[in-house]
């Protein structure tokens, strides 16, 4: 009967989704980071489990395969004693004669309180939010958004940057295939909202000029983009981009856009190196940099769990 009680509580609190970061205020995000600190402490204990979400059911709906993100969310749910049901399907649901709405309705009949949704096409979490009473957390939709990745990136920076005193006056450089990157879009939105300056850099074929707005600069020159940056994030370069005629060759990309030690010399002396993973060692980032002391790539993965715990907790239980 716990789930009935829990469901009632959910309907009593104002229903909130995490579709993208546009509709979250800077204060709410910083509060989420404080909750993440508490969750990080839980993950340091011998028994890494609290009863915070006991009685809640979290459904992971992965229409696009992603083992890492799914594992991270499932760990975040179970560490708070929520039940987890998982759905994985590739391709279009219509190939089975079912619309996206039918698929959701079927799963929805099993009564989850919150769905974690990943889909290859932008907007699906928004569509699902219209068709269910449950809470939707976007775990990546097409090129559009990957809000929890951006949250864990900014959280990692705020807790790892030496003498961190707020996002104002900080500069984040994002290097790579910005066009196809939901990580870039969400980080751009989040960091500029928190007051940081964002510099997007990549070959002009994958750097949409439309993304330039107040607080976000674009440049096809990596030296210019990295200069004075407090955090440098490189994006994974998909090999298909060469076949699609968007980039000439890996060699040319390495020469012009690889994050190298020479480039990093222009960054702030204490700048952190970030990557959403999985990395193409020595393609978008020099292997030595990925392994260097300034790299927080593994920290990002580790922080994924407490940040997602905080997201689930905040959305399901709310601020207490």
Partner 1 sequence: MRTVIKNARLLDSEADYGLNDLYLKDGLIEGYNLGGEVTEGDDAAGKTVTPAFIDLHTHLREPGQEVKEDLCSGLSAAAAGGFGTVISMANTNPTVDEPGLVADLIAKAKAVGQARLKPAAALSHGLKGELLTDFAALKTAGAVMITDDGIPVADSHLMRRACEYAAPLGLIIQTHSEEPSLRQNGVMNEGMVSQRLGLPGNPSSAEAIMIYRDCELALMTGARVHIAHISSRRGMQVVEWFKEQGAPVTAEVTPQHLTLTDEALAGFDPIFKVAPPLRTQEDVDYLRDALKRGVVDNIGTDHAPHTQAEKEQDLVAAPFGIANIELAFALLYTELVKTGELSLVDLLKLLQSGPARIMNWPTPKLKPGQVADLVVLELEQSYPVEAANFKSKAKFSPWDGQKLTGWPVATFIGGKQVFQRDS
Q: Which one of 88, 211, 302, 317 is in contact with partner 1 (CB under 8 A)?
A: 211
**Piece of the chain touching partner 1 by CB under 8 A; list 36-44, 100-108, 232-240, 271-279:** 100-108
CB of 206 to partner 1, least distance (A): 12
Pick the binder of partner 1 from 9, 83, 102, 227 (CB under 8 A).
102
Sheet strands side by side (includes 57-62): 83-88, 57-62, 114-119, 135-141
Residue 142 as a binder of partner 1 (CB under 8 A): the answer is: yes
Structure tokens at 172: 């984040």
Q: Which is nearer to partner 1, 63 or 157 (CB)?
A: 63
- Residues 26-85, interacting with partner 1 (CB under 8 A): none
215 is an interface residue for partner 1 by CB under 8 A:
no
**Shortest separation between residue 142's beta carbon and partner 1, angstroms:** 5
* Contact between 80 and 23 (Cβ < 8 Å): no
Q: With binding defined as CB under 8 A, does residue 182 bind partner 1?
A: yes
Q: Which residues of 40-61 are buried (b: 16+ CB within 10 A; e: fewer)?
A: bebbeeeeeebebbebbbbbbb
> Contacts with partner 1: how many residues (CB under 8 A)?
25
Are 79 and 47 in contact, with CB atoms under 8 Å apart?
A: no
| 3-class secondary-structure state, position 272 | strand
Q: For residues 278 and 4, is the Cβ–Cβ distance under 8 A? A: no
Asked if 145 is part of the footprint of partner 1 (rule: CB under 8 A), the reply reads yes
- The single residue among 124, 196, 233, 311 that binds partner 1, judged by CB under 8 A, is 124
241 near partner 1 (CB under 8 A): no
Return the range that interacts with partner 1 (CB under 8 A); candidates 1-9, 86-94, 218-226, 256-264: 86-94
Give the count of beta carbons closer than 10 Å to the beta carbon of residue 128.
25
Residue 316: in which H helix or E strand, if any? helix 297-316
Q: Could you tell me if 254 and 230 are in contact, meaning their C-beta atoms sit under 8 angstroms apart?
A: no
What single DSSP character describes residue 218?
Answer: E
Residues forming the site for partner 1 (CB under 8 A): 92-94, 99-102, 119-124, 126-127, 141-145, 182, 185, 208, 210-211
């Amino acid at each position: 009967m716990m789930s009935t009680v829990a469901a009632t509580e959910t309907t009593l609190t104002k229903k909130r989704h995490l579709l993208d970061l546009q509709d979250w205020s800077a204060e709410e995000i910083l509060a989420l980071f404080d909750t993440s600190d508490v969750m990080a402490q839980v993950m340091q204990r011998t028994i890494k489990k609290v009863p915070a979400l006991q009685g809640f059911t979290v459904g992971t709906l992965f229409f696009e395969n992603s083992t890492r993100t799914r594992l991270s969310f499932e760990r975040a749910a179970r560490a708070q004693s929520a039940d987890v049901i998982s759905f994985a399907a590739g391709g279009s649901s219509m190939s089975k004669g079912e619309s996206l709405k039918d698929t959701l309705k079927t799963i929805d009949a099993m009564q989850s309180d919150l769905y974690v949704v990943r889909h290859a096409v932008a907007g699906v979490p928004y569509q699902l939010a219209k068709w269910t009473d449950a809470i939707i957390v976007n775990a990546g939709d097409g090129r559009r958004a990957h809000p929890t990745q951006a949250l864990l990136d900014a959280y990692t920076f705020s807790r790892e940057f030496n003498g961190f005193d707020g996002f104002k006056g900080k500069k984040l450089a994002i290097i790579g295939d910005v066009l196809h990157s939901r990580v870039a879009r969400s980080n751009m939105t989040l960091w500029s909202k928190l007051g940081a300056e964002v510099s997007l850099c990549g070959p002009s074929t994958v750097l949409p000029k439309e993304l330039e707005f107040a607080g976000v600069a674009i440049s096809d020159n990596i030296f210019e983009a990295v200069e004075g940056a407090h955090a440098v994030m490189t994006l994974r370069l998909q090999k298909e981009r060469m076949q699609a005629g968007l980039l000439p060759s890996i060699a040319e990309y390495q020469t012009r856009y690889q994050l190298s030690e020479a480039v990093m010399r222009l960054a702030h002396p204490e700048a952190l190196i970030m990557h959403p993973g999985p990395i193409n060692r020595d393609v978008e980032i020099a292997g030595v940099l990925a392994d260097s002391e300034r790299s927080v790539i593994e920290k990002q993965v580790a922080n994924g769990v407490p940040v997602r715990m905080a997201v689930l907790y905040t959305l399901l239980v709310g601020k207490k």
